[in-house]
Structure 1
């Protein structure tokens, strides 16, 4: 990045400017989260939130990011995140803390549900979601213990033992899981593994809804190996990493918006013979932004349109928000 900055300053000076940014500049993460949310969603949209972690190790330092995003066109839009000062799974208190921070961002938006993998279970956690009227669709372990309406205790996979590959089943009677009433759905994957989803309300499409959880994995891929190579950073200070994720969140969302705009202009993504797109919407947008940033693209009209994508249409009279 230092080499790409046009300046009369020396290379070392440009590099120090970037270092000072991550040391001194302070985000309002509340304002940033609202900005990213409003780039893609209006208050009429029902949002599916998806929660997950991404982690890696640099030397003896464990970098562990707990992220909350919103499902959007096969990818999650990053909204709120926190650094966990440890290795391994998040605990209930950390999840509640993240959700409480995010609640200020999502205020006024209808939440359709929260999607999470097998890490995100527990009595206190489920009851916190129910107390705040947040529906959930969480994958559970096949050996989890449940109590049926008749008071019988069994492993949850015993209820779906007859399922064949690619066959799904929904149980419309509530069971007790960690002392909380939930409804169960299951899908036998092609490799024979059971995917079991616990939902807070009866929903025959629980498996289909839960499938959108994967969109946050796509986000992590874009932030890391298939996009910005976040794992290559040698930054280990939690505050600086949180700030780095904030910068990349803006760049990621800008790339998605740019990819959408290119498709609207007739620059559609080519579909290959096997039926899959040649590249993602994210990559389609990032390619153009890199050309602009590296001054390969000299068309002022296209550059102007790229900049306009970061302008939010006001949702209230006489109010707008712009980040550049």
Structure 2
């Protein structure tokens, strides 16, 4: 099974090249900030052979590492991890960031398929509205830690909800145009 998993900096791995257990961040200590690196050897974790990739960053004045464990192709690990993270963001949006799809308790497969289709259309609609407002009208506030106060989808969902519930479109946006893809 393919996997690309982020591990903590202080995670211990067994280096087959060095024939000893080392802390993962030590394998990437020679990287410059923003540089991507791949450990040349294979490491062993919990009896499994795997590869490591990592990058070095500075966050809040402190050096941090993003270290990924993968089953093969360590040179593509960050790209795949980024794609997986998009899926995780989608799941968060569908579950706890507004759509709360698990609260429906739908188990009939045909109904679940229809529900998922409708929720996916709504999700994309909210995302496109949020992206438009963020880029063209009013950017999402950035918090002190450097991350956005809201996700783009939640931004769009909040605006669309207000318009549909109150009938007042304060930004005078043609919300239906986002569904037409024109």
Whether the TM-score (by the shorter chain) exceeds 0.5 is: yes
Equivalent residue for 1:221?
92
1:311 aligns with 2:171: no
Distance 1:159 1:257 in 2: 48
Residues 16 and 41 of structure 2 are in contact (CA less than 8 Å); yes or no, is this contact kept in structure 1? no
Q: Tell me the secondary structure at the aligned position of residue 294 of structure 1.
A: helix
Aligned pair 1:264/2:105, yes or no? no
Whole-angstrom CA distance in 1 between matches of 2:150 and 2:38: 35
1:159 is matched with: 16
CA positional deviation for 1:272: 1.6
Map Cα deviations across residues 160-197 of structure 1 (whole Å, 9 max, x no partner). Answer: 843443744635689xxxxxxxx833459xxxxx7421
Contact 1:166–1:187 (Cα < 8 Å) also in 2: no
Say which structure is richer in helix. Answer: 2
Which one of the candidate residues 73, 78, 81 is aligned to 1:211? 81
1:197 maps onto 2:54 in alignment: no
Q: C-alpha distance in 2, partners of 1:297/1:167? A: 56
Q: Would the alpha carbon gap of residues 166 and 270 (structure 1) be closer, same or farther in structure 2, given more than 3 Å must change? A: farther
Q: 1:163 to 1:173 in 2, by over 3 A?
A: closer
Judge conservation of contact 2:68–2:78 (CA < 8 Å) in 1. Answer: no
Rounded to whole Å, the distance in 1 between the matches of 2:26 and 2:85 is: 18
User: For structure 2, which runs of at least 5 residues remain unmatched after alignment?
Assistant: 6-12, 29-36, 43-49, 56-66
Shift of residue 296, structure 1, vs aligned partner? 3.6
Partner in structure 2 of residue 68 of structure 1: none
| Alignment partners' CA distance in 1, 2:87 and 2:134 | 23
* Distance in structure 1 (CA, Å) of the matches to 2:51 and 2:96: 35
Using the size of structure 1 for normalisation, the TM-score is 0.39
User: Compared with structure 1, are the counterparts of its residues 167 and 280 closer, same or farther at alpha carbon in structure 2 (3 Å cutoff)?
Assistant: farther
Match of 1:170 among 32, 38, 41: 38
Q: Distance in 1 between matches of 2:171 and 2:137?
A: 19
In structure 1, the gaps of 5 or more residues are: 1-120, 122-136, 141-155, 175-182, 189-193, 314-324
Q: Alpha carbons of 1:198 and 1:234: their partners in 2 closer, same or farther (altered >3 Å)? A: closer
Change (3 A) 1:209 1:300: closer
TM-score where L is the length of structure 2: 0.65
Alpha carbons 1:257, 1:309 under 8 Å: kept = yes
